[in-house]
Structure 1
Amino acid sequence: MSRSLLRENAYQWIRDAIVDGTFAPGERLNDAELAEWLGVSRTPVREALTRLEKSGLVQTKPGRYTMVSPLDAGAARAAQTVTAAMHELAVREAVQRLSADDLAAMREANDRFAAALRADDVDAAIAADDDFHGVAVLASANPALRTVLEEFTPVLRRLERVRFSSLNGRSSVDMHERIVALCEARDVEGAAAAARANWMSLDEVFELETAADPTA
């Protein structure tokens, strides 16, 4: 396996373990233990941790510790603003490119999202939500946009997982349906605005986090 692929795999594995709670906020991370866990050398692990620090998921103090960053509603709000803008742009650029199969894929992902919420399966709900929004992101054919989302979306997903509310999620089902309908009608401005509103609706999640932690 090439060094670049090892580096990318290590980054994705550690990132996903932080986002899904396998590594808890404040947990210390040891590069030797991570390398053994992943079955790779320490070099791609160290490179992955450096990248994760830049995205705000990891904190380091050279010579002392590397740990999973505590949940930070302020950082998540900043990531939300960027993420919402990127999804607005993705939909704006994708609307005229979306095929009937793309629209069907969005509806199918939203059906899975709704089913996962009914089953209280947060993992499946988040995966389906990613699939739903991913259709427009892919159709936008904008690699720079995807790069930005890969950096900032995990920060949002991490907080959302902890504070995920079935009520909030069910309102997202309706928002998704509106996005698809507007895309199908080729309403560029309406669909883009609906996509942004969907991501900005996470404000309720941040309010819950702030109420739980007055210092946030």
Structure 2
Amino acid sequence: MEAIRPVRRTLLRDRAYEAIRDAIVGGELEPGAVVRDAELAGRLGLSRAPVREAFSRLVDEGLLESKPQSYTRVTELVAADVRDAAAVVGAMHELATRVGVPRLPAEGVRAMRAANERFAAAVGAGDVDAALRADDDLHDVLVHAAGNRAAAATIARHTPLIRRLERRRFGESGCRSAGLHEQLIGACADGDVDEAVRVTAEIWRTLTDLADGD
């Protein structure tokens, strides 16, 4: 029975964080909704401690706001906050692209093409969740190829805030992104670092434009 060990506290904290984050990004927990640690702990089958830790992390990342002894609630979607997050995430993706393209193996290009096919199909079907998963899969290929853990952590921290806006404006962003993805994949296949970085920057400018129009 050596394989059956107590689940580490950090894993419970991460489980709570991911579940609550996804509920906020997906709209199950709407902007302005008050969240209570006891209620969410019961729904997640956890104690209150890891939920409180998740709350603290989500406050730090801008998805929750808290007033001591008063409330913890989902933040409103503020365009300026999304612009700030998109600028940071875009810069990290540009870095990952510049470093990752020279290291990208042929199977990486194939993985990007497959992800974009899933993305385009999901956009056509109006499946927001599948489209965003495929988008993450595509860009993660370059992030992994770059091997920069600080960049990857920064992207993971700030992307959920951007995803909230993308879900709201999905019809406007999805179709254009598929075409930009094709340009990015072509540049990666050719080993054209400068073009790949240029297209990556354009992808993130598109998201900034969405925030400006919100």
Same-fold call, TM cutoff 0.5? yes
Find the aligned partners of 1:168 and 1:69 in 2 and give their Cα distance: 23
Please state if 1:104 is matched with 2:110.
Answer: yes
Write the mapping of 1:38-117 to structure 2, written as runs, cut at 5 A.
Answer: 38-117=44-123
The whole-number CA distance in structure 1 between the counterparts of 2:127 and 2:210 is: 17
Unaligned runs of 5+ in 1: 210-216
Could you say which residue in structure 2 is the equivalent of 1:214? none
2:189 maps to which residue? Answer: 184
Distance in 2 of aligned mates of 1:55 and 1:203 = 18
Q: Quick one: which amino acid aligns to residue 170 of structure 1?
A: C
Name 2:131's counterpart in structure 1. 125
In structure 2, what residue type is equivalent to 1:25? P
Gap runs ≥5 in structure 2: 1-6
Pairwise CA RMSD: 1.0
Q: Retained in 2: the 8 A contact 1:164–1:205?
A: no
Aligned to 2:163: 157
1:9 correspondence with 2:2? no
Match of 2:3 in 1: none
* DSSP 3-state at the match of 2:31: coil
Q: 8 Å contact 2:166–2:173 — kept in the other structure?
A: no
Task: Report the Cα offset of residue 176 of structure 1.
Answer: 0.5
TM-score, scaled to structure 2 = 0.94
**Correspondent of 1:144 among 137, 140, 150:** 150
Per the alignment, residue 22 of structure 1 pairs with 28
Give the SS at the match of 1:202.
Answer: helix
C-alpha separation in 2, matches of 1:204 and 1:122: 19
TM-score, normalising length: structure 1: 0.94
Q: Which amino acid letter does the alignment assign opposite residue 97 of structure 1?
A: R
Q: Residue in 1 aligned with 2:4?
A: none
